Amino acid sequence: AFAARLAGTFLMYWAFLSSQFTVGSGMDFSSIEAGNGLLFLLAAGLRLGVFPVLVPFSREIPLRREAGTLLRFVVPASSLALLTRLDGLVMPAGWAVILSILALAASVYGVIRYFFASSELTGRSFWVTALAGMATVSIVRGEGEAALIWSTVLLLFGTFQSLHSYRLPGQWWLMLPGF
């Protein structure tokens, strides 16, 4: 998982540098060419664990709640910020279908694994994979607002559920404002 995130970071740097040479002196996300936008999309997908489907860590570091939750959501937050900037991305139809299928498969995998997780803390990485996959599908389909909504739900509801255990009787209703 670390190698995929590192590869995503280097791919993002490469896309940024190649877009600097094609666009000119300044970079604006509204003037990204299709090839560079696809590289940015793949970089965000690698960092989020969507392309290929990765669970970030098979062994959790014992950072459970509070600061551990913040640390676990830093990478998805930064990658989703990049992903939502790719709103006007135009890509070839063949790539759009392939990337949509892969992201949807990652999302379904994340949902199934989250549903069968023993606790909300062990299922946290599957939660990220599921909703990041849906945000990626939204961007590939040209729905930037939907990707922003999926990203907001991932971060707000994900941190809320990681900080508060819904298994406590009578407190499950506290999670409803996250939706």
Task: List the helix and strand counts (H, then E) for the chain.
Answer: 7, 0
Model pLDDT for residues 10-57, shown as the tens digit of each residue: 888 888 887 776 655 566 666 677 777 888 888 888 888 787 766 555
> Which pair of tokens denotes residue 55?
């669970």
What confidence score (pLDDT) does residue 33 get?
74
More confident residue, 64 or 12: 12
Model pLDDT for residues 125-177, shown as the tens digit of each residue: 888 888 889 999 998 888 889 999 988 888 888 777 777 655 555 555 655 55
Q: b or e along 122-149 (b: 16 or more beta carbons within 10 Å of the residue's beta carbon)?
A: ebbbbbbbbbbbbbbbbbbeeebeebbb
